[in-house]
Amino acid sequence: MAPLRSLLLLSLTVFIFIFTLCRADPDPLQDFCVADLQSNITVNGFPCKPASNVVANDFFFSGLAVAGNTDNMFGSNVTQGNVQSFPGLNTLGLSMNRVDLGPGGVNQLHSHPRASEIGFVVQGEMLVGFISTTNVFYSKVVKAGESFIIPRGLIHFQYNTGKENGVAITAFNSQLPGVVLAPQTLFGSKPAIPIDVLTKTFQVDASVIQLLMSKFGQAT
């Protein structure tokens, strides 16, 4: 029995150690830390405004109440409610976006490197999909009143499959999730990715790459 007890004790010790490493963020030592967006100093976030400069509006944001303009090449618009537009979110580890999609509109292929995402469809219906690191594509048409999740860092999209405007509210476990837009990243970076790299990667002629660059801001 002694070896078994030793094994159980070791297992319990390892579990407690892992649990300690994976627990939630430490308890805050202050009520809030409203972001000072004018500061030139940032250390993985924004410094706090002096409490004497904090106002009620720092904790309220009306941007998600306004429909975004979808009159563009993608037929979509994303209104970001992150710390840069909603300073009261600073250090709280959460944010929200509004996604507006016209009929046939797409919130283009993109990823959020710093957050997982949960979404709620407010209006219309949309095909929501993401691709895993094992190259498996998961998707479903999500209708008003239904929800979806996107694991952190995975490429995903929302596409309006209905005949009316689609609206979704998405939430993130980061005050600044970040966004990597696939087309702009690959074909509109500054400076541009060498064409030889892109032609070899996608196995296409240079003329195809130049066409894509012309659409996303890096025509040669």
pLDDT in tens, 101-149: 999 999 999 999 999 999 999 999 999 999 999 999 999 999 999 999 9
Q: Which fold has domain 51-178?
A: Jelly Rolls (2.60.120)
Please report which residue ranges of the chain form alpha helices under DSSP H: 2-22, 182-187, 195-202, 206-215
Name the residue ranges covered by the structural domains of the chain: 51-178, 184-215
The Cα 135–Cα 142 span in angstroms is 22
Task: Please report the pLDDT score of residue 18 as a whole number.
Answer: 53
User: DSSP code of 50?
Assistant: P
Kindly tell me the burial class for residue 168, based on how many C-beta atoms sit within 10 Å of its own C-beta (0-12, 13-18, 19 or more).
Answer: buried
Confidence tier at 188 by pLDDT (50, 70, 90): very high
